[in-house]
Amino acid sequence: MKKIHFHIGFEKTGSKSIQNFCARNSKALQERGIYYLDDVYNGLVFASTHWPIAAAYADLPSLVPPSKKLDAQEATNLIVEVANNTSCDTLLFSAEPFSSVLTSAKKIVAMKKA
């Protein structure tokens, strides 16, 4: 079974630096069994961050333009695809909106179950 970690850094706390570091060092992370999702799965990635995942489960539908928004099931399917296509045991996702737009317990539980 693979592990999935969500870095839920708050806005203006250096999260983008962590995301850029992980993106630049993705090969080194993979050598250590950690897959930091890159732009191969562009529906889940935007500028080295994974806010489309948070947006798929968000309480704020206006966060993403409708033409770019994934629904929760589509995001889940892509995450499963990522997990199945990497030999890494751990997947790492990072996005500030995990802390700011997933504000209801119902939405957080839905993402966890997915």
pLDDT, tens digit, for every residue of 23-70?
999 999 999 999 998 776 677 888 788 888 888 888 776 666 676 688
Using a cut of 0.95, tell me whether the model's pTM lies above it: no
Q: Are 5 and 98 in contact (CB under 8 A)?
A: no
Which amino acid, residue 64? V
pLDDT score recorded for residue 32: 97
Count other Cβ atoms within 10 Å, centred on residue 35.
21
Task: Dig out the tokens for 89 from the structure.
Answer: 């045991």
User: How many angstroms separate the CA atoms of 100 and 12, rounded?
Assistant: 12
Task: Dig out the tokens for 110 from the structure.
Answer: 């839905």
Q: What mean pLDDT comes out for the span 90-102?
A: 87
Question: pLDDT at residue 100 above 70?
Answer: yes
